[in-house]
Structure 1
Amino acid sequence: MTCAPNTGPRTPCGRRFHGEALLPEPPPPHHRDRASRPRRADPGGPALTHKEKSPTPISIVVRAADPVSLQGAEVLLRRSDGTVLLPADQVGRADVVLVLANEVTEETMSWMEEASTISSNPEMRIVLVADRISRPRLARAVRHGLVSVLPRAHTGFPEIVQAVLSSRAGSAQMPGELLRSLIEELRTLLRDPTGSILPGGFEGREVEVLRLLAEGLDTTEIAAKLNYSERTIKNIIFAVTRRLNLRNRTHAVAYAMRIGAL
């Protein structure tokens, strides 16, 4: 180590006294660390920013028949990054509608239909957390914007949030049995071009039969009018009452009228 000549109040190795402290010699200007110099923007490159722009948060509306589930989901969503919770009366602005239910009923379907009807967002998506949904209602829900179905009994909140965030990016998830059910419903509609999915989970020809029952026709007269066998008419009535848990044909007609299928 070579020391500088002693030309003033310095230590033998060239550090100046400053009171009782020893301060190192400042380096020459051209030896300063380049990292300490202000960084200049490249004229031909992108502008430098202090902070990257964060992605637009996803606006969410939660619907649930159970007030406890509704409040719990809303509290947890407020704490989640990347989400903004909207009140139910602003469902038309939502990116995602999260629906919580044990079993999908006509009330549940009405929430999805309302969101689909009044939404001003063509990319609006519905995420359903439920344990039971019938095949016709599943098909109707898809038409209203349903993209993901999560089994309520086996799904935690982190999985729900992930499904909500993924749906915005175009992802969808559905249990295998529901996917198969949806495919079967599509096959049914393709086999019967006149078939349709109507309120209450009714199919097109079921509504035709119930409408004629409401007009007072019996099964023989309905069979002749629709060009079906009487056995087919009876099977249609039996299938609809069993699937929708209706007591008899009179109950089926009353139910169809009440929900607007007739």
Structure 2
Amino acid sequence: MAITLVIADDQAMIRAGLRLIAETAPGVEVVGEAADGHQALAVTRRLRPDVLLMDIEMPGLDGLAAARRLLDDPRPPKIIMLTTFNTDDYLYASLRTRVHGFVLKSSPPEQLLDAIRAAAAGDAVIDPAVTTRVIASFANHPEPTAPAELATLTRRELQVLRRLAHGMSNSEIARELRIGEATVRTHVVHILHKLNLRDRIHAVVFAYEAGVVRPGQEPPGQADEDRTC
């Protein structure tokens, strides 16, 4: 069964390009479009798509405000924010919502399609470039304090969390740690439950706020962790 998609962007050329990308992908059907946040609300509530791909900055009612309203509905769609993230205010406000992904407008088409499929499956996707922006933003924050919940993680879960924070996918983490991808998914579920986090997007924010990883720090190697754990 095809993933139904609504596209919301105030620029007609952008919408046309996104529609073209989506309609060339097997298993994705574009069922509607919107040019602002108010239209996005109306079209999404009428058509009930699986996924809403929405620009964060639109006239009238912006995408973030529209997303918050839709996510309060009884049967909200999976929402992916499409953005340039040109201000940190938008970055932090967006990361703390309950949307299922962030994709930059400069991202390649295959990354956009992967995000749509992942969101439809209930996963959350954060563009690696957004992760980089988070890292840079936390560089100017005060010294983090580790919350008590962090102590509930096992050694392996902590290894997985560190790699999530560096923007690694489940498959990349599996290869790095030499474990199965299904095992990684299980660890992610346990991490989110123990830390009371909604998804991997919030796990990235948590990792930097808690000092699990630090700005400018290279992704950990297995040998390095074996020496320190």
TM-score by length of 2: 0.45
Pick the structure with more helix per residue. Answer: 2
Greater RCO, CA 8 A, separation 6+: 2
- Higher-Rg structure is 1
